[in-house]
Structure 1
Amino acid sequence: MGVRFRPYVEENDYTVLRELIRQKFADPERRFYPSLGDWDYNRAFGGDAFRNQVTVCELEDGTTIGAIWPGHYRILYVFTGPEYAHLENEIFAWAEKRYCGPSLEDRSGQEVYVWAYLEDRIRAPILRDRGYTPHTWYMYSGVINLEQAIPEPNFPAGYSVRPIQPGDLPQKVAIMAGSAGLTKPTLDIYNRLMSGLTYHQELDLVVVDEAEQVVGFANVWHDTANRIAIIEPFGTAKTHRRRGLATNLLYEAMHRLKERGVTQLYINHGGLWTLDREPDDAMRVYTRVGFRELGNMFVWCKSCSQVD
């Protein structure tokens, strides 16, 4: 049975695709994108533009098997349900004819780009067989086991952590753009984010100073069915870095998640290059608190001259 493609229809497709993502994350030792939190985050930030870009992949009998959409620089995000990953070859064949375009700045010609983990034992071989090669640009994914002992948070004097409050929203929106290259949201976007099924306000944590100004944040997304969570986005204001806020915010999030019965916490960190010789500040923090590498999601490239 072949794969066919159709536009995304908001509410029904959102729920069905969300369930496929949940099924995908039942294996705690494999990393996939998007998580439930990523799905809600992309949906909130993209709004109508995101909905218009998503293409639903389905079988001829109408069974939804996954979705595909272009992100920044036309790099494709693709996910399929665990039973349908073997059909990604057909999905990529369709995508290559639709999404070929000008190459990234450090390359030349016309190319198509796909995000994929090197560790993905189904997708990576498919991409290699189709003529793709990994770029030097990648996103790190780490995991920590919350069933082990977690240090108690110890914030510097004058700082504390709590769930976000309505009055914090303008401050958080203002500092997000300066943290890890995040796209600055608007209040409308953030309110849309808060309406997502995976969002829990008590896990939308902020670090505040003595003046109750937001200086750090962590959006924690709890996948209740799989007893896992992911932190994304996460950051601190530039003027308050190197004070231990990020480390202690992670410890605080871990303790709150342990109380909810979460066993594994994941974190992503994008914008990395294999050519970088030293880890950046964020990677040093993740290593220090005990995250171990679970996978690296690379941009894979293919020349359009190779497209049939």
Structure 2
Amino acid sequence: MRCAEYDGPVELRAMQSLAERVGAVNGFRMVGDLAWSAALAHESVSPTAVWRDEDDVVVAWAWLESEGSLAAQVDPARPELAGEVLDWAANLAGGSLRTEVCETEAPLIAALESRGYVPRPEPFLLCLEHDLDGVAAPVAPAGYVIRAVRGVGDFERRAAVHRAAFGSERMTARRYGVLAGAWPYRAEFDLIAEAPDGTFAAYCLGWYDPVNRIGEFEPVGTHPDHRRRGLARAVCAAALRAFAEAGAERAVVYARGDDGYPVPRRLYRSLGFTPYASTVTYASSLS
């Protein structure tokens, strides 16, 4: 067993290799999640560590996304590594540490609780899934066109609708280009609703894992000027159809499960998604 540490852009493909193997089992931290998070963190200095076995197979990774905030994944077949992952992160964090885990990640939860970490009463995610057998064709609201992103020429508008939807300035056309170059991005799963004036009004970024035949939404958003017109539903339906046509058997998405932000959860439930798990945030006693 060996651990390699990094200080800079995350070791995305190494981390995704584990997510590809165990994400479908745990139902959390899948390949698309990691690609999206890495794009947002592009060029930032983020300590990461990757554990590989004697056959050079990735069996665990840890990523200190921000001060005291850990993302991690451990192969369920190597539960003894969960404690080592947490100890590595706690040592770098220098005290307080928090991490969000899925209730399906038993080794991580056991290691957290044995070290005195406690669940925190804060927002949590519902993990939702949708069987893709017999997915209906999407219907575009009047005046809008639902289509896939067509490459670099769309990146400025694509980044702009994300900024408007989330009130964030992090996504730029340049950063979107980095995202589009990351595996497993495919433009056919990057669906947008285009308004009559050419504005991108809503989007659903889909990620397809062909090994596990799972599609994932991450993220979905609507420009504030175009809300309450059924656009988010339309682009999500288009993504589901695209997944099904590519051979996917199911789709997944995460949405807030608490009442602080219920709209996305209602949207996905209305599309036929059902919950299969939820997350909880554990924190050290110093947090």
- CA distance 1:178–1:9, change in 2 (3 Å): closer
Q: CA deviation at 1:193?
A: 0.5
Q: Is the Cα contact below 8 Å between 1:20 and 1:82 reproduced in 2? A: no
Equivalent residue in structure 2 for 1:40, among 35, 39, 47 = 35
Which residue in the other structure is 2:44 paired with?
Answer: 49
Which residue identity is paired with 1:241?
Answer: R
* 1:81 correspondence with 2:75: yes
Q: CA deviation at 1:287?
A: 1.0
Q: Is the Cα contact below 8 Å between 2:128 and 2:275 reproduced in 1? A: yes
| Aligned equivalents of 1:191, 1:128: Cα separation in 2 | 41
Which residue identity is paired with 1:93?
Answer: D
TM-score under structure 2 length normalisation: 0.88
Which residue identity is paired with 1:303?
Answer: S
After superposition, what is the alpha-carbon deviation per residue over 1:192-244, rounded to whole angstroms, capped at 9, x for unaligned?
11111201011111101112210011111110111111110111111111111
* 1:233 correspondence with 2:219: yes
TM-score under structure 1 length normalisation: 0.83
Q: Is the Cα contact below 8 Å between 2:127 and 2:253 reproduced in 1? A: yes
Which residue in the other structure is 1:108 paired with?
Answer: none
Show structure 2 runs of 5+ residues with no match: none
Which residue in the other structure is 1:25 paired with?
Answer: 23
* 1:191 correspondence with 2:190: no
Equivalences for residues 139-288 of structure 1 within 5 A:
139-147=125-133, 149-165=134-150, 166-180=152-166, 184-270=170-256, 274=258, 276=259, 280-288=262-270
| Aligned equivalents of 2:169, 2:269: Cα separation in 1 | 25
Query: How much identity, in percent, do the aligned residues show?
Result: 24
- 2:136 is paired with a residue whose SS is coil
Q: Is the Cα contact below 8 Å between 2:9 and 2:43 reproduced in 1? A: no
Show structure 1 runs of 5+ residues with no match: 102-110
When the two structures are aligned, how many residues end up with a matched partner? 285
- 1:231 is paired with a residue whose SS is strand
Q: CA deviation at 1:71?
A: 2.2
| Aligned equivalents of 2:59, 2:198: Cα separation in 1 | 46
After superposition, what is the alpha-carbon deviation per residue over 1:89-118, rounded to whole angstroms, capped at 9, x for unaligned?
1221232222145xxxxxxxxx21112112
| Aligned equivalents of 2:55, 2:237: Cα separation in 1 | 47
Which residue in the other structure is 1:104 paired with?
Answer: none
- CA distance 1:178–1:133, change in 2 (3 Å): farther
Q: Is the Cα contact below 8 Å between 2:130 and 2:252 reproduced in 1? A: yes
| Aligned equivalents of 2:193, 2:207: Cα separation in 1 | 17
Q: Is the Cα contact below 8 Å between 1:44 and 1:193 reproduced in 2? A: yes
Which residue in the other structure is 2:61 paired with?
Answer: 67
| Aligned equivalents of 1:171, 1:183: Cα separation in 2 | 13
Equivalent residue in structure 2 for 1:127, among 82, 106, 112 = 112
- CA distance 1:78–1:181, change in 2 (3 Å): farther
Which residue in the other structure is 2:280 paired with?
Answer: 298
Q: Aligned-residue CA RMSD in angstroms?
A: 2.6
- 1:225 is paired with a residue whose SS is coil
Q: Which moved more, 1:248-257 or 1:226-235?
A: 248-257
Which residue identity is paired with 1:38?
Answer: D
Which residue identity is paired with 1:207?
Answer: A
- 1:71 is paired with a residue whose SS is strand
Which residue identity is paired with 1:300?
Answer: Y
Q: Is the Cα contact below 8 Å between 1:75 and 1:112 reproduced in 2? A: yes
Q: Is the Cα contact below 8 Å between 1:168 and 1:214 reproduced in 2? A: no
- CA distance 1:212–1:80, change in 2 (3 Å): same
- 2:61 is paired with a residue whose SS is strand
Q: Is the Cα contact below 8 Å between 1:164 and 1:204 reproduced in 2? A: yes
| Aligned equivalents of 1:195, 1:256: Cα separation in 2 | 20
Which residue in the other structure is 1:6 paired with?
Answer: 5
Q: CA deviation at 1:176?
A: 0.9
- CA distance 1:61–1:280, change in 2 (3 Å): closer
Q: Is the Cα contact below 8 Å between 1:25 and 1:31 reproduced in 2? A: yes
- CA distance 1:237–1:288, change in 2 (3 Å): same
